[in-house]
Structure 1
Amino acid sequence: MKGPLFYAKILLFGEYGIIKDSKGLAIPFNAYRGALKTSVNLTGQAKKSNESLFRFYTYLSNLKTDLVSFNLEDFKKDLEKGMYFDSSIPQGYGVGSSGALVASIYDNYAFDKITILENLTRDKLLKLKEIFSVMESFFHGKSSGLDPLNSYLSLPILINSKENIEPAGIPSQKEGKGAVFLLDSEQVGETEPMVNIFMNKMKNEGFRKMISDEFALHTDACIDDFLSGNVTSLFSNVKKLSKVVLKNFKPMIPDAFHKVWANGLKSNDYYLKLCGSGGGGYILGFTEDFEKAKKSLQDYKLELVYRF
């Protein structure tokens, strides 16, 4: 057995904001991918994955929902034959490792599944997102369902609000100097503790005000600029967003990167923002001159995502 490939995702803009109903923009990231495979002799990571899938199978068996039902009999049989999720997507890095897994299980075992070939109305997209949210909650405690949706559709997705999502056309890449890149913190981040910190902070009126008056405002402006290809304005807004995140989301930024973050703002060589929930994994970088950013960040591993 060999399932279709599902890709990693990058939430370019909207981390945390989408929990509170502001805009978000997610794009597939084809450098990392995963697929369901079967092996008679399971060892190492494959064995671990198979055991984790058995736990996921139990979770899905006990789900009380009218949203979706699964062919649990086949799922169990395949697990007993040695099925595992073979993935190059790093876990705890904010690029959707559990999302790709959820998408592949839905694709393989859901009854009456919504396929990517049909006309994807807003209602169908919202239903898919809701199904994926319920499924992915097994991994994170609370999930928006966006990562699996992105992985399943393999399309850029624009989140206007919780009730309004649509596939987005993003400008095609150019061979310019500018770039979006990933900076490897070389630490694993865990989603659930970070989301809990955020939820606690949201109890504070000042923090809530900052989210709506600054964070959401700059995020929305960045998304509008990115989608319309307005690069000059984009960098101005990304800088503002980067400042707000450094000031208000310190627990989500690994300690070793507070200074690196501030250096980018000071030198204008690059601007950093969270990639996913933070706490480790990848940090997302934006630069008007990728060569300059590489020089400034020569002690770190960078990976190119998109060129301007």
Structure 2
Amino acid sequence: MTNPLFYAKILLFGEYGIIENSQGLTLPYSFYKGCLQFSQLQTDFEKSSNQSLKKYAEYLANIKIPQEFKIDIERFIEDIDKGMFFDSNIPQGYGIGSSGALVAAIFEKYSLIKRKPESISKDELKALKKVFGLLESYFHGTSSGVDPLICYMNLPILIENKESVNKVALPENEMGRGAIFLIDSGKIGETGPMVQIFFEKLKNEGFRKTLKDEFIRYNNACIDAFLKKDMNPFFRDLKKLSYWVYEHFNPMIPESLFKAWKRGLDTNAYYLKLCGSGGGGYILGFAQDYDKAEKMLEGFQKEVIYRF
């Protein structure tokens, strides 16, 4: 395939916690995708994307990439001059990996050593994550490398801790009554300011303690129960996680969803959580009876991403 597609990603669990060594669970989302294309650059979108690639190429030319992950910068720049752009429908500022897909596409096309994602070992995953963090830092200031890694691998990934990641199998997607879904907050989120708020909070010893003793514990328990498809403990811990975020991550919850978030907790019809850094973009919803949750969330734009 000359122009492979790179899908968006969804971080089901681990937002903010992975900064403090919690587990994370992330999966590709094929509804949104992007690929590198050539054109005459006649639309504003194509022109803007091409110019962005030029600036990114300058960044790549000035950073030190480990030898085994070297990128053919000269060929990349030649292709940009020939009219290459990133053709993508992944919304920016929505927490689903628009820059991750771009980095993965460039790495796949221009890395000097070609790899087959399905045969990459756990140790190679760790090294790749580090390199992707360097490559994506251009867009966010800092990057864990997880987003481009997911987009590149196109497989669900379990983040075991800050250093270690592994491929993982999700429970089979069944057409049951339950669902995981995205809700559009109607507002673009900015990662930088949200992360800054989090680091300010981390200066408080009481916050650090509750983050470790409660948030990370609930987060890891949700991942464990979900992968085992043990839905009763899953929803029990998910409610605790949702309530903790409501109490402690107030600025990260988009204003348009604040009442709906509380209503879910009060009725147990659904639970909401952040999808990425929050502040806008998408929010994740979980319901054991999606039809009931959908009626209660009437007026919001929703997309189901997983059924159980």
Instruction: Judge same fold: TM > 0.5, yes or no.
Output: yes
Change (3 A) 1:114 1:21: farther
Secondary structure at the residue paired with 2:36? strand
| Equivalent residue number for residue 108 of structure 1 | 109
Q: Does 1:255 align with 2:255?
A: yes
The alignment status of 1:81 with 2:88, answered yes or no, reads no
Distance in 2, matches of 1:150 and 1:31, equals 15
- Report the aligned-residue RMSD: 1.2
Offset from partner CA, 1:127-179 (integer Å, 9 cap, x none): 11011000000001111100110010010000111222110111101121100
Q: Unpaired runs of 5+ in structure 1? A: none
**Residue type of the partner of 1:237?**
D
Q: Which residue of 2 aligns with 1:71?
A: 72
| Whole-Å separation in 2 of the counterparts to 1:244 and 1:237 | 11
Whole-angstrom CA distance in 2 between matches of 1:16 and 1:193 = 13
1:282 and 2:288 correspond? no
> For the Cα contact (< 8 Å) 1:2–1:36, is it kept in 2?
no
Aligned to 2:227: 227
Give the SS at the match of 1:161: coil
1:161 equivalent in structure 2: 161
Structure 2 alignment gaps of length 5 or more: none
Counting only pairs closer than 5 Å after superposition, residues 51-200 of structure 1 correspond to structure 2 as 51-66=51-66, 68-118=69-119, 120-200=120-200
Q: Deviations over 1:241-274 (max 9, x none)?
A: 0000010001111122221110110011110000
Judge conservation of contact 1:106–1:113 (CA < 8 Å) in 2: no
Moved segments of 4+, more than 4 Å: none
Q: Give the counterpart letter for 1:21 in structure 2.
A: N
**What is the TM-score of this pair, normalised by structure 1?**
0.97
- Secondary structure class of the residue paired with 1:29: strand
**Percent identity of the aligned residues?**
52
Asked whether the 8 Å contact 1:25–1:158 carries over to 2, the reply is yes
State the Cα distance separating 1:98 from its structure 2 match. 0.5
1:40 correspondence with 2:40? yes
Shift in Å, 1:99: 0.5
Which residue of structure 1 lines up, in the alignment, with residue 4 of structure 2? 4
- TM-score, normalising length: structure 2: 0.97
Report if aligned partners of 1:15, 1:274 keep a CA contact under 8 Å in 2: yes
CA contact (8 A) 1:8 1:97 kept: yes
Taking the aligned partners of 2:122 and 2:207, their CA distance within structure 1 comes to 32
On the 8 A contact 1:2/1:38 being kept in 2, the answer is no
Distance in 2 between the 1:166 and 1:102 partners? 20
| Residue number in structure 1 paired with 2:269 | 269
Deviation at 1:228?
Answer: 0.2
Distance 1:217 1:42 in 2: 51
* Contact preservation (8 Å) 1:142, 1:192: no
Q: Is the 8 A contact 2:65 2:131 kept in 1?
A: no
- Matched residues, number: 307
Alpha-carbon distance between aligned partners in 1 of 2:187 and 2:149, rounded to the nearest angstrom: 26
In the alignment, residue 272 of structure 1 is paired with which amino acid?
L
Range with greater deviation from structure 2 (25-34 or 39-48): 39-48
